[in-house]
Structure 1
Amino acid sequence: MRLRSSGLLLVLALCSGVAFAQTPPAADQTPAPSATPATPAAPPAAAQPTPQAQSTPSPAPAEPQTPAAPQAPATGQPNPAAPAAPASPAPAQQAGRTTLFPNPSDPTGVEEGVLVSKPTVMLSGTSTWDEAFTNLKNAFAKIEGEMKKAGIAPAGRPLTIFVDTDDNGFKYEAMVPIAQVPEGKTELTPEIKFGKTPEGKSFRFVHKDAYDEIDGTYETITAYLDLKEIVAKDAFIEEYVSDFTDSQDTDFEVNIYVQPKP
C-alpha cells in the first residue's frame, strides 16, 4: 500500500499549483373407428367391380389401421406458437443505490460531470494503508447496521472522502447516501453523524481490479491530471460500486472522483 500513499501524495502535491418457427403438433386427433366397418375385399377369385367402381377403378381398400398418435414434444422444448417472455436484464446497480454519476456515457474511461450533493450518514476515522480495506469495510458495516436499526434505507453506493493522507495512513469520512435526514436530527449516534456528499464539477476515473492494486490507478490519475494541466482539490473520493468482500477480488469496482479547483 506504500505505492498508493505515494500516488496520493504526488497528486496532492500537484494541487498546490503543479498541472496535472415451426407450428407445434396438434393434440391427438386419432379418428374413432366407424360405427359400420368398411366391407372387406372379396377373395381374388370372386372379385367383381362394383357399379361405382366401374368408372374409376381403384384398388380394394386395405384393412383400416389405427394411425399412430403424434409424438409429444420433448420436455422443456419451447413452444414456438407462444412467444417466450423476455428475460429481465440484470440491473447494473442495486435498485435505489445509484452512483454519483448515475448514467456515465463512458462506463470505463474518464468522465467529466457535476456531482449533486446528497444527504448522507457519515463516520470519520483514521487508518493505515495496509489496513485500509478492512477498516473501511468495518466502517460501512457499522454505518449500515445503525441505519437498519433506525429504519433508514441507503440511497446510493458507499463512498469515502480521503481528508488527509501521508506515508503512514489517512484520515477519512466514510459515507452512505440516504434519501433524507430525519427531521430535527443531526446525528444517528454520537459517533455517526448526518452530512452531505461532495458537490460540483468532477472527473470520474474507474478502477476495476483488486483493491490492493488501486495504486496503479492513482498513478494513471496523476499522469492524466498532469497532461491536462488540471489542478485538483486536496480531497479524493472513492465510491464503491462493488460490495466489500475480498481485497484480492479482481472484479472489485471503484469510482474515483477528482474535483478541480475553481
Structure 2
Amino acid sequence: MDVARCFRLAMAAPLATAGILIGISGALAQSPPAVPAPTASEPTKSAAEEPAKPAAAAPAKPADPANPPAATPATPPPAAAEAPVTPAPATPPPAAPVQTADPFGEEITLTGKSVVVLKGSANWDSAFETLIESFKTLTALLDKQAIKPAGNVMIVYTSTDDTGFTYQAEIPVEQEPKDLAKNMSLGKSPDGKALKFVHRGSYDNMDNTYEAITNHLDDKKLEAKDTFVEEYITDPLKTAEDKLVINVYVPLK
C-alpha cells in the first residue's frame, strides 16, 4: 500500500468525524435542550417535602362606626403583697394612786358620841389580847339585840403605869342597848380640841408612835390631858394585826 494514501486515510477519518460532530452541534443549537432525567442516585422530592408557601393574610375588616368594637377589659395589676400588721401595743395599766402622808399632829375638834362602855384593865404584855376580848364582848351584846354600831370601836386610856393601864372600850350607838353587865354602861366619847395622829401596823409598835407624839408635844410646848383615845379605822376583829390603821387623838388642855 502506498504510504501517502495511508496517511491521508488516517487524516480523513478524524476530519469526517469532526464534520459529523459539527452538524450535530448545529442541530442541537437549533432545538430546545432536553430536561435531563433524574438519576437513580438523586431521589425525587415529594410534595410533602416541598416548603409550604405562606398563606396570604386576610384583609382587615373596616371598623363600623355604628357598632364600635367592645373594649377589652384591662388586666388588673397583681395585688401588692399586704404588709404584716403590727399589733398595737397593750395599754399600760393605770398608775397606782400615790398615797399622801398621814396627818401628824393635825388639830381637830372631837364631837362626843353616845357609846356603850366596857371598863377594864390590862398589863402591857397582853394588852392587845385583852382589848380584843372587850371588843368581842361589846359586839356580842349589840348583835344579840340587833343593834348596829354607829361608828368605829375606840379605846380610851384613863390611867397608865409601868406595868399596865386602865381603859374604856367604847362602841358608838344610836339605840340604847338593854341588859348591860355590871362593868358596862352608857356614856359619851371624849370631845373638844385635840391633835390627830395616825398609826399603821401592829399594836406592839404603838410605843414608837407614842414616843413620836410625846416629842411632838414637847417641841410645840403643848399640854395634853391625862387621856389618849384610839379609834380603830380597820376592824380589829377581822384585820390582821400588822394591817391595823388606828387614829390616835390627844385631847389638849
Taking structure 2 as the reference length, the TM-score comes to 0.59
Alpha-carbon shift at residue 248 of structure 1 (Å): 7.9
Aligned to 1:122: 117
Structure 1: distance between partners of 2:102 and 2:185: 32
- 1:219 paired residue number: 211
CA-to-partner distance for each residue in 1:112-152, whole Å, 9 max, x for gaps?
11111111111001100111100000000000100111111
**1:236 corresponds to:** 228
The 1:151/1:52 distance shift into structure 2, 3 A limit, reads: farther
Distance in 1 separating the partners of 2:206 and 2:240 = 11
| Correspondence for 1:146 | 141
Corresponding residue of 2:82: none
Give the superposition deviation at 1:246.
Answer: 9.3
Query: Matched residues in 1 for 2:219 and 2:191: separation?
Result: 24
Q: Structure 1 residues 134 and 54 mapped into 2: Cα distance closer, same or farther (>3 Å)?
A: same
**For 1:222 and 1:152, how far apart are their aligned partners in 2?**
38
**Structure 2 gap ranges (5+):** 1-66, 77-99
Tell me which structure has the larger Cα radius of gyration: 2
Q: Cα 1:248–1:59, aligned 2, differ >3 Å: closer, same or farther?
A: closer
Distance 2:238 2:209 in 1: 18
Q: 1:150 to 1:233 in 2, by over 3 A?
A: same
Contact 1:210 1:247 in 2 (8 A): no
What CA distance in whole angstroms lies between the structure 2 residues aligned with 1:159 and 1:197?
Answer: 9
Tell me which amino acid in the other structure corresponds to 1:170: F
Q: Read off the aligned partner of 1:168 and give its amino acid letter.
A: T
Asked if 1:175 corresponds to 2:170, the answer is yes
Distance 1:212 1:257 in 2: 18
CA contact (8 A) 2:159 2:165 kept: yes
User: How far apart are 1:227 and its partner, in Å?
Assistant: 0.6
CA contact (8 A) 1:211 1:247 kept: no
- In the alignment, the residues of structure 1 paired with residue 128 and residue 151 of structure 2 have an alpha-carbon distance, to the nearest angstrom, of 19
Q: How far did residue 181 of structure 1 move?
A: 2.9
Amino acid corresponding to residue 175 of structure 1 in structure 2: E
Q: What is the aligned partner in structure 2 of residue 254 from structure 1?
A: 246
Q: Deviations over 1:11-65 (max 9, x none)?
A: xxxxxxxxxxxxxxxxxxxxxxxxxxxxxxxxxxxxxxxx9992462559xxxxx
Structure 1 partner of 2:157? 162
Q: CA separation of 1:236/1:194 partners in 2, compared to 1, >3 Å: closer, same or farther?
A: same
**Could you state the TM-score of these two structures normalised by the residue count of structure 1?**
0.57
DSSP-derived class of the 1:143 partner: helix
Aligned to 2:104: 109
- Read off the aligned partner of 1:221 and give its amino acid letter: I
Give the partner amino acid of 1:220.
Answer: A
Judge conservation of contact 1:133–1:247 (CA < 8 Å) in 2: no
1:202 aligns to what? 194
Q: Which amino acid aligns with 1:138?
A: E
What is the rounded CA distance, in whole Å, between the counterparts of 2:220 and 2:69 in structure 1? Answer: 99
Q: Does 1:54 align with 2:90?
A: no
| Structure 1 segments unaligned to the other structure (5+ residues) | 1-50, 61-104
Which position in structure 1 is the counterpart of 2:26?
Answer: none
Return 153-162 or 243-252, whichever deviates more: 243-252
Determine what percentage of the aligned residue pairs are the same residue: 38
Shift of 1:236: 0.7
Aligned to 1:233, what secondary structure does the other structure show? coil
Superposition RMSD on alpha carbons, in Å?
A: 2.8
